[in-house]
Structure 1
């Protein structure tokens, strides 16, 4: 539980949106844990979308520093999330695919290869979609 609290604070410290919602108070510890987990999932997803949007902006502007910086942040967030969810073997597979794709985005941005970044960004997007398919099937 301490790890969960630490990771929640870490995510919030990197600029996550406010999580305040008007809901009925949880009735037991299991409900509290489930609600916290769902909120953290929302935070991770929103941050990844923010980073992804910034990468797309960098692509459209030809700003390789913007692309690389946001790909690095996305990769870091993915590692943290992957550690928390590591119990699911299918999820671990997707985490590794996502990491390889984000590494390739970074590599191509360093080379200032717009075509290379486009291909790597596409691979990154595919890995996101496949992972979410897996999570929905659980």
Structure 2
């Protein structure tokens, strides 16, 4: 069974809506603050949603290739993040070293100041079936990229 291109684009767009919505739910309902790499993974999903909306409105097939590129971009960032979490390679200095750059000594020592903890990219905050949020994002984003490619290739 082959789904029409518009249906595939709608599925891929809704997939990014679900993943981005899930990230915001973990942050604002679950209280899990995102690290820098988590934030970077959100932007391509936002782009994919915008691309999907424009593609649905215009019917232009070429936009599906851009949607696939956006999904692949977030998957690539997520794979990098998984590697950092599993200590396969070094992560960003700004979120793996417990950096307090930009926070003055006075603010650190002042008990009346609320200084948020640095969210580390190399620490797994949540996982399901042994797969972290970044891992799930990588897997599901690759599935979405496949749907985008199928949409681009469907007449």
Structure with bigger RCO (C-alpha 8 Å, 6+ apart)? 2
What is the TM-score of this pair, normalised by structure 1?
A: 0.47
In terms of Rg, which structure is larger?
Answer: 2
Structure number having the greater helix percentage: 1
What is the TM-score of this pair, normalised by structure 2?
A: 0.43
